[in-house]
A and B are shown apart, each in its own frame.
Chain A
């Protein structure tokens, strides 16, 4: 069935390193794609989104491009900071499967060391 596959963590990086978190999905026709972030001790919040194919979402130095041809929405940041330590979740707007379930990726924990 339709699904979202997200890179497993934890990912441990040093400050100023380049970060990529892969996210792919197996369905088509998503109206939007999202990345959410959960900082330690805080609730889930939107990081960025893209509303159609080839759109690029960006926020706080993070970027992700909606690649319909590769069904991917990889998250990237060129130079991470300690404050970027968090769990990142990839989410399509809709999974067009039975019941139109909403599915999040499994989450990727990122730890940035000074």
Chain B
């Protein structure tokens, strides 16, 4: 089937605004992950969902960041009161089971002016 999709592909927002980033995982994948990749940097783990378990939020950089996964499928990452340091590419990945091979989406490039 289709791979992991993310929307929007690009988002430009003003400092202080809220943004929502969407991820559609591969159908049937029980695990879903969010990462952040800043320019020229590596991957920063943010949060993951595994089945119906409560998400592990330990990687979220601040309480302005939150995420939910509805019906065990689509996930939304919300950033409230965006700051310029939030500018990055936000990547979503899914896997059949926890810590298995991850399939990445194309990412959402967020620019906070």
A residues within 8 Å of B by Cβ?
Answer: 31-32, 34, 36, 43-46, 49, 89, 93-94, 98-107
Residue of B nearest to A104 (CB): B43
- B14 contacts the other chain (Cβ, under 8 Å)? no
- Kindly identify which residue among B43, B58, B99 contacts A93, using a CB–CB cutoff of 8 Å: B99
Binds A, one of B22-30, B76-84, B104-112: B104-112
Closest-CB distance, A63 to chain B (whole angstroms): 17
- Chain A residues whose CB sits within 8 angstroms of the CB of B45 once the complex forms: 101-104
- B16 contacts the other chain (Cβ, under 8 Å)? no
Given A99-B58, A101-B58, CB of A43 within 8 Å of CB of B99:
no
- Chain B residues whose CB sits within 8 angstroms of the CB of A94 once the complex forms: 98-99
> Are B43 and A99 in contact, with the CB atoms below 8 A?
no
- Chain A residues whose CB sits within 8 angstroms of the CB of B43 once the complex forms: 44, 89, 104, 107
| Most chain A C-beta atoms within 10 Å of own C-beta, residue among B35, B43, B98 | B43
Q: How many residues of B contact A (CB 8 A)?
A: 22
- B102 contacts the other chain (Cβ, under 8 Å)? yes
Q: Type the 1/0 row for B31-63, where 1 means its CB is closer than 8 Å to any CB of A.
A: 001010000011101001000000010110000
Give Cα distance in the complex from A106 to B44, angstroms: 9
- Kindly identify which residue among B35, B56, B105, B106 contacts A99, using a CB–CB cutoff of 8 Å: B56
Lowest 10 CB-CB distances: which A-B pairs, in order? A99-B58, A93-B99, A106-B42, A44-B104, A104-B43, A107-B42, A94-B99, A43-B106, A102-B45, A43-B104
Give Cα distance in the complex from A98 to B59, angstroms: 10
Give Cα distance in the complex from A34 to B100, angstroms: 9
- Chain B residues whose CB sits within 8 angstroms of the CB of A32 once the complex forms: 99-100
Closest-CB distance, A32 to chain B (whole angstroms): 7
Closest-CB distance, A67 to chain B (whole angstroms): 19
- B70 contacts the other chain (Cβ, under 8 Å)? no
